[in-house]
Chain A
Amino acid sequence: MLQDLIAFVEHGTLGELVRENDLLFPFIESVHVLAVCLVVGSIAVVDLRLLGFASVDRPVGRLMRSILPITVGAFGLAVAAGSLLFISHASKYLENRFFIAKITLIALAGVNMAVFHLIGARNLDQWENDALPPLFARVAGGLSLFLWVSVVACGRWIGFTMPPV
């Protein structure tokens, strides 16, 4: 059932187009890399603030409201471009352990962010001006930084472990 679905997207018009067109794949990959760079760099601004390493004179809430929309927009673009790359060789990506690791790490980064925003940031106004945020915020920031760096590493390793097309 799932395999049928994978075969369906891979051999559909869109998957075929990305796979067969010599310019389309590198173009989409460029957009993907550009968007990923913006995701990682912009979220690092927030993570480093949570760790108390940078932008310490900025209230955390205000910094997040300013920067995170950029992160979210870039993430949407990265996912859209990444999905197009994925469907062009869906079954090969699913057999690649670095691809699986990358998706898992992104999911973990999402969980980390959700936990921080739903539970941790509830009393944000009490500490958002502190140069050194409380421990749970520092843990969330450090975890996010570690996870995104790992996502980039896995992404790069996929290129070296995919069987030749």
Chain B
Amino acid sequence: MAFVGAPFCNWLASTSVSQVIQTTKWIIPTLQTIHILAIAALFSSAILFDLRLWGVVERDLPLKDIARRFFPVIWFALPVLLTSGAFLIVGEPKRALLNTTFYLKMALLACAILVTLGLQWSLSAAPDFWDRDRRRKNAGLFAATVSIMAWSGVLIAGRWIAYTD
């Protein structure tokens, strides 16, 4: 399953930007390094927030403080990821655009972003959104688990792009 065809990939690969990326050996590993470092920042921020929702880390701080510290990192890292990812696609269009795993990764990314937006929105609506009663606390544990699974899924799917077509 792919949303674009081989002709589009061939055209993309023939552009001058793609040619430079393809012929300069250090560009792709450099882009991948930037990509992974941005993932490290985003993923760890998301996981640390989720672990706070689980009650594992930084328990002496209100959830709202954790959100204020870590959500900006997520929204800063995301455009870095999209930009470095876009250049990686331009450099090797067929590796991603004709790969089913790439579309799975994008679907998981959309889920992860929605879950993260939902978590952030819930706290700006009410700082004690997830602390009010037993049911809310359990819902918080569930939401954190979904977030961890979604972001982990994005990472794992990203690695599998290299092994699938």
Q: Which A residues fall within an 8 A CB radius of B?
A: 22, 26, 29-30, 33-34, 36-38, 40-42, 44-45, 54-55, 58, 62-63, 66-67, 70, 149, 152-153, 156-157, 159-160
- In the bound complex, CA of A66 to CA of B37 (Å): 22
7 further contact pairs, Cβ within 8 A, besides A36-B36, A37-B44: A30-B160, A33-B159, A34-B155, A37-B43, A63-B58, A153-B29, A160-B29
A37 pairs with B48, CB closer than 8 A? no
- Given A37-B43, A66-B57, A42 and B159 touching (CB < 8 A)? no
Q: How far is the CB of B8 from chain A (nearest CB, A)?
A: 26
Taking the nearest CB of chain B, how far is it from the CB of A150, in angstroms? 10
**Chain B residues in the interface with A (C-beta under 8 A):** 25, 28-29, 32-33, 36-37, 39-45, 47-48, 51, 57-61, 69, 152, 155-156, 158-160, 162-163
Interface SS of chain B = helix
Contacts of A157 in B (CB 8 A): 29, 33
Return B50 CB to nearest CB of chain A, in Å: 11
A69 to B41, CA, bound (A): 17
Question: Which of A41, A66, A67, A156 is B29 in contact with, Cβ under 8 Å?
Answer: A156
From B39, B45, B162, name the one whose CB has the most chain A CB atoms within 10 angstroms: B39
Contacts of A42 in B (CB 8 A): 44, 48
Identify the interface centre among B25, B28, B29: most chain A CB within 10 Å of its CB.
B29
Within 8 Å by CB of A37, from B33, B39, B51, lies B39
Could you tell me if A41 and B44 are in contact, using CB atoms closer than 8 angstroms?
Answer: yes
What residues of chain B lie closer than 8 Å to A29, measured between beta carbons? 159
A38 near B29 (CB under 8 angstroms)?
A: no
**Can you show 30 pairs from A to B with CB atoms below 8 A apart?**
A22-B163, A26-B162, A29-B159, A30-B160, A34-B43, A34-B152, A34-B155, A36-B36, A37-B39, A37-B40, A37-B44, A38-B40, A38-B43, A38-B44, A38-B47, A40-B40, A40-B44, A41-B40, A41-B42, A41-B43, A41-B45, A44-B44, A45-B44, A58-B61, A63-B58, A66-B59, A70-B51, A152-B33, A157-B29, A157-B33
